[in-house]
Structure 1
Amino acid sequence: MLSGTEFRSAEAAPATGRFDSWREHLHGSYVPVDLLPDDHMADFRATHLVLNLGAVRLWRIEHPPMRMRRSPQLIRRSDPELLHLSLPLRGTKRVVQSDREAGYGAHELALLDTSRPYLMEASTGERQRTVRGTGILLPRNVLPLAAKGGDALVNRRLSAREGAGALLARFLTQVWADRASYRPADGPRLGTIAIDLLSALLAHTLDAENTLAPETRRRSLVLRIQEFIQQRLFDPELTPRSVAAAHHISVSYLHRLFEDEEITVAAWIRRRRLERACRDLADPALRHTPIHAIAMHWGFARADDFTRAFRAVYGMPPRDYRYGACRVADQGLSDGAAP
């Protein structure tokens, strides 16, 4: 599992001291800030999880509504020169920095500079008690474009609905979902991916993609291509040629891009299709869906081709795999219903 830290106010201090322990934790793990809770509840509860990804720290946070202020005095006390990228997952955020006020909700990324004063206000909806978000912290010097773009990028809404912003938002949430499957040695590689995606998003925002390092452009293009493929696995016409055409590159260049993936483009497409079909075969809700229909849904036009490819990867035909998976599911339901 990736290395990191976990803070839960309910476990860190008695109820009367939880808010103070939360403030001290943020001072040590983030930067010194003034915390102004909307409602200083006696039973204050907050969580802060951090994963170490090399130079990047991936964080996830949940807490009651509050305001957070970083003043010039606090900056003089400690200035690690960090960039703070956040993605609201529940609730909304209002930020004032660099003479700009902006509101953020779901599908909007916010970039702040901890070397500049700011006021951040996190709010919930009517039926919500806490706000929740995720994001990354990284040294400003690893993103020269951010320093160069400065005022144009800080506290500016960055869309997470499309392009590099959508890829970055999906990356932030997916690493949390898959964190148990990673080893500590995977951290720096994942941090590099985060930096590349953020660099591509900022370059697009500034219309300065040509200023990115060639390797950063290459990696971000590979990630965009992989996302393109994932969204079209059901299309039987999805081939290396159609992928290359959609991205205005040659087929030979597409193959060169995938050399570092240690798998051909066609094999990468086939493997992702098999993974989706495998998931559906193991789903008890789909047990009455014919196997050939599942295969066709995920882009396998011929049932024989699907069976051969499935057996080569999973060591058994799809019918046997489904039978075994459904038996396990049925047994689990039976055990759960037993008195």
Structure 2
Amino acid sequence: MAGLSGAGAVPAVSGIVAQPRGRSHGMGFARAEAIRGAYLLHDRFRRQCCEAESGETEDTVCVHEIGSTPIREYEFGSLEEYNRVMADAFVPLVVFSRQPTFRCRFRAAGHADVWCFDIAASDHVVQRTDAHIQASPTGEYYKVCVMLHGICTVLQDGREAVLRGGDLAVCDTTRPYTLVMSEGARTAVLMFPRALVTIPPSTASEVTATRFGGDHGVAPIVSAFLASLVDNLESFTGAAGHRLGQHVVDLVATMLFDGLELDEPAARRSPLMARVCEFIDERLHDPELSLGTIAAAHFVSTRHLQALFQRERTTVTAWIRERRLEMCRRDLGDPYLAGESVASIATKWGFVEPSHFSRAFKAQYGRSPRAFRDQLEAAA
């Protein structure tokens, strides 16, 4: 289905300057804050929907209840309302347009971690600036944009990508970016915390604002999956939707790894780190996984391996612990695993002592594993 067409040419972008790449963030605190931020995003979005349903906005809002999680549907007739709702419901940003009128149809479904959006709108520009980032220090997300119709120009980290039907690109919300939408753009957007992807942020930054064509590598699979998903948003609700969210994030991570291999400058700098992170994720269940076993498997010294992780402001041990905690957090929130005990989940991901796992989980996410699971079940 084509997007809502806007009259006129593409807004001029000559005054838009992509910001230089920022410094990498610390991994431990940043990961915990990213997960907390995901739940804040979920709460803000639900609050905005409630306000809209109560008639406090002037635009049309349709809410379709399907399963246990509603699909949210908005129709905006003014840029002012679109800015107000979007900037509060998501990470702070600004939307502007040179068109005399603005129309947008917006549909969304998802969970605390992963959200999928179907956005069809008149020509407009989206900007997230340094000021917006300073206003939302916990806004650490990746946004995957798939063009279904029209054209989108993505600018970030000194790069520019022009997307057409089937193409996609990734933005990192911890750094400034610009999206220029034109020719009745309709876009499928997937948004999730950076902590859900195993690739270190500084490595992933090598492929932001990079066109992943719909005809090469893993990108066509991701593009087709997201295009199908926005046409069947009801499948992204309930327990099945929770699992779908995990799978689509894994698909995106695979695409990013593939992109790093294709990008020669990035590949020269980060192939070992990417391989090590993948190796670790495949062996999180092994309690014997350690600095020594990882170094030996990759034929490097432990000192060299430590230096790689120090560039990410973390250590090998901390990375392993955080990845194990993330997998446990994911399983604790999975409705299909509601019958599996907390201790069983911890053991499955390499934790030997239940008490140690509980302390580590609470330190990372601010609540005990049982309290975390109970809260999600109550919310559902």
TM-score range, shorter chain: 0.5 to 0.7
2:99 match: secondary structure: coil
Q: Distance in 1 between matches of 2:279 and 2:111?
A: 22
**Number of residue pairs matched?**
205
Residue among 208, 211, 216 paired with 1:157: 211
1:150 match: secondary structure: helix
1:101 match: secondary structure: strand
Q: Distance in 2 between matches of 1:163 and 1:214?
A: 21
Match for residue 201 of structure 2?
147
Cα drift, residue 175 of structure 1: 2.2
- Does residue 272 of structure 2 align to residue 206 of structure 1? no
Residue among 86, 95, 103 paired with 1:26: 86
Cα drift, residue 156 of structure 1: 1.0
1:197 match: secondary structure: helix
Matches for 1:75-224 after TM superposition, within 5 Å? 75-79=133-137, 80-124=139-183, 130-145=184-199, 147-180=201-234, 184-207=238-261, 210-211=275-276, 213=278
- Does residue 120 of structure 2 align to residue 66 of structure 1? no
Cα drift, residue 147 of structure 1: 0.9
Cα drift, residue 149 of structure 1: 1.4
Q: Deviations over 1:24-53 (max 9, x none)?
A: 111122222121112131xx3212111114
Cα drift, residue 216 of structure 1: 7.8
Matches for 1:274-293 after TM superposition, within 5 Å? none
Match for residue 9 of structure 1?
75
Cα drift, residue 105 of structure 1: 1.2
Cα drift, residue 161 of structure 1: 2.1
After superposition, the CA RMSD in angstroms is 2.5
Q: Given the superposition, is the C-alpha separation of residues 147 and 27 from structure 1 closer, same or farther in structure 2, using an over 3 Å criterion?
A: same
Match for residue 110 of structure 2?
52
Q: Deviations over 1:94-141 (max 9, x none)?
A: 1221111221112211100111112221111xxxxx210102001011
Cα drift, residue 85 of structure 1: 0.5
Cα drift, residue 167 of structure 1: 1.3
**What 5-or-longer segments of structure 2 have no aligned partner?**
1-65, 262-270, 283-380
Q: Distance in 2 between matches of 1:212 and 1:171?
A: 25
| Greater gyration radius | 1
- Normalized per residue, the structure richer in helix is 1
Percent of matched pairs sharing the same residue: 21
CA contact (8 A) 2:152 2:181 kept: yes
Cα drift, residue 74 of structure 1: 1.2
CA contact (8 A) 2:141 2:194 kept: yes
Matches for 1:259-338 after TM superposition, within 5 Å? none
Q: What amino acid does structure 1 have at the position aligned with 2:242?
A: P
Q: What amino acid does structure 1 have at the position aligned with 2:150?
A: G
Q: Distance in 1 between matches of 2:236 and 2:203?
A: 34
CA contact (8 A) 1:54 1:191 kept: no
Q: What amino acid does structure 1 have at the position aligned with 2:211?
A: R
Q: Distance in 2 between matches of 1:146 and 1:86?
A: 20
Q: Distance in 1 between matches of 2:72 and 2:247?
A: 23
Q: Given the superposition, is the C-alpha separation of residues 214 and 184 from structure 1 closer, same or farther in structure 2, using an over 3 Å criterion?
A: farther
**What 5-or-longer segments of structure 1 have no aligned partner?**
125-129, 218-339
Q: TM-score, normalised by structure 1?
A: 0.55
